[in-house]
Amino acid sequence: MSMNRLVSLGWVVGLLFSLHAHALMPAQALALTVGDTDTRITALQQVLASPDEKTAAFLQAMADDAVKLQGNQVLLVRDGQAIDPVTGASTALNGDAQDVINNNRMRGEIDSALAALQLLSPDAAKRLVAVNALLKEPDPTKLAMLEKALGAEADAKVKTQMLLARAAVLLNSEKVADRLASAKALAESQTPDTQLLLNQRLSQEDDKQVRTQLESSLRTIQSALNWGEKLGALFTGISLGSILLLVALGLAITYGLMGVINMAHGELMMIGAYATYVVQGLFRQYLPGAFDAYLLVAVPASFLAAALVGALLERAVLRHLYGRPLETLLATWGISLVLMQGVRTVFGAQNVGVENPSWMSGGVQLLANLSLPYNRLVIIAFALCVLVGMTLLISQTRLGLFVRGVTQNRPMASALGVNTARIDTYAFSLGCGIAGLAGCALSQIGNVGPDLGQSYIVDAFMVVVLGGVGQLAGTVYAAMGLGLMNKLLEGLAGAVLAKIAVLVFIIVFIQKRPQGLFAMKGRSAEA
């Protein structure tokens, strides 16, 4: 028997020892194992009306295929030892003992019964899981067990869910008063599953008063679900905006500040994502115990990998093309093809998976239909940190001063002793490194492949142009605005029409305001 089943059986047995219940009888054990499936299921439902520790142990043994029939005697057989399920006494096992066969339907009923027994677990979390499952699929045969668990429940949250589950079970009661009370109580369970249950009941209900209450409860639930959908769209818009911000921040330097149309920006993101994949593989092979910390190494690794490739590109190609935008565009487009093919050669053409650390798995359940995934929340916070770090670097450091000086007036900066060629390399490497950070973040919400960057490069350019060339504040507003606009329009018109609408909006906006949201101030705006 597996360890999980031993643990599960242990808590069931331990709790049921403390409950006042009738012991499993030989006739009940026999009825659970012989006869047709309908007869055995009926016997199972009768046993569950007053379960005890022996009932739980016997059902677990049936689920484990550890029950044999020797004549008219039912035996639990584990590790070659036969035990009477009623008395617990060891019994000799003859060669003519036959296995008890459970078909798929019977197995499903046994598994459902074992899950229902979790209503009596000493662990409140397990009781909550069990009662939520019952609320989703109410079963009248579990009502007696639910009543027993409800009488012993001390946790307020679990008890509230148990009352809702009881109402869900009684929603199909023959008594009008039960159905009316259930319909009213279920308005508090504002979930799509409860909405489905109420709609099903409404289609069958004949009593006018119950129908009125069902319709009222459905309106209450629909109102709550509408709020969840609106807040969900808002969150996904912010999430998309944070991703666009990460992608566009690097481009805000290479294109916004330096004027380089870098069509390989998406491939530098891809390099950052593959660097994360490589770090993950190294941790999995050499430091499996510290796997959850691999992202702390992957972040600087992705930055350095993309920054080094960017420095190489700037030194070897781009420094000879400054002031020639068409040649720069063609050269970087060719470089993007080379980088994609290089990745295909090294890692293969298929996408590779990057696993979230355990602390980024799961999410925060705010409403029944609104869950905020931890990985998205972390990426939003990460984008803010990168934004703050980049802003401080550009505005408060010596490197940032040199970058701004070279960008605004290269001859004057050179006359004052600034090594403009070196600053160009540093600035371009910084923009590429931030692209690598964007790739690291994207690896946590999807697969990593050679075409990863192609999905974001156009949106990134739109963000930079819309925000205003060279304006970090404009980049932030444009990224969040486009993210929210995309997701809100998707809910109204679909993904394709939303994309077209956003593109049309940007074209019209740029026609009316070519400088973007924020115009560059000073002499550089007139140059």
Q: pLDDT value at position 493?
A: 74
**DSSP result, 124-152:** HHHHHHHHHHHHHS--GGGHHHHHHHHHH
Three-state DSSP class for residue 101: coil
Q: Could you give the CA distance from residue 251 to residue 263 in angstroms, rounded to a whole number?
A: 10
42, 61, 117 from 55: Cα distances, Å: 15, 10, 10
Report the pLDDT value the prediction gives residue 341, as an integer from 0 to 100.
92
Residue 15 pLDDT = 39
What pLDDT is stored for residue 519 in this prediction? 59
Spatial CB neighbours of 382, under 8 Å, sequence gap ≥ 6:
242, 246, 437, 441
Please give the sequence-ordered ranges of beta strands (E in DSSP) within 84-232, or none if there are none: 90-91, 98-99
Between the alpha carbon of residue 49 and those of residues 23, 43, 149, 283, 510, the distances in Å are: 12, 10, 12, 51, 72
Predicted pLDDT of residue 219: 92
Q: How many residues does the chain have?
A: 527
Domain ranges (residues) in the chain: 3-118, 123-206, 241-453
Residue type at 149 in one-letter notation: A
The string of pLDDT tens digits covering residues 295-332 is 999 999 999 999 999 999 988 888 888 778 888 888 98
pLDDT at 23: 63
- pLDDT tens digits for 127-137? 888 888 888 88
For the chain, residues with pLDDT lower than 50 are 1-21, 522-527
pLDDT confidence of residue 384: 92
Q: How far apart are CA 88 and CA 104, in angstroms?
A: 28
